[in-house]
Amino acid sequence: MFAKLAGGRNFDAFNDILRGDFGTPQGGFKIRWNNFQRSRETLGHAETIRWLENKIEHCHPDNVEFIKRELDAARRGEGPTVADIITDIIRIHGPGGAEEDDGV
């Protein structure tokens, strides 16, 4: 489901792209998310569970318990979804966000 982003395979890489220094266009980014409702459905708790199951296999051992708690919540239909995580990253870099100077 996730494409490689700036040589990375995670949300940190996406965040880094929006922060800049990875070929950021002059004047920043303008993001238009087509079919957002469909994406929200596709990137809901089922996809979040799949993502967390994969993440737990590759994370640092110190992070396993934290990810297990996130996974348990996702299995109950609780907590942020993949769509929420992506939206939050974009919001941080947009107008009014903590990193709005990035020009997204």
Asked if 79 contacts 73 with a C-beta cutoff of 8 angstroms, the reply is: yes
What is the residue extent of each domain of the chain?
11-102
Dihedral sign, CA of 68, 69, 72, 78? negative
Question: What distances in angstroms separate CA 27 from CA 77, 90, 98, one per listed residue?
Answer: 39, 16, 18
Residue of 26, 18, 22 whose CA lies nearest to 91: 18
Burial class (CB in 10 A: 0-12, 13-18, 19+), 34: exposed
Residue 104 has pLDDT above 80, yes or no: no
Q: Please tell me the predicted confidence (pLDDT) of residue 22.
A: 67
Strand partners, 8: 5
Q: Please tell me the predicted confidence (pLDDT) of residue 31.
A: 86
What's the predicted TM-score (pTM) here? 0.82
Write out pLDDT tens, residues 36-87. 999 999 999 999 999 999 999 989 999 999 999 999 999 999 999 999 999 9
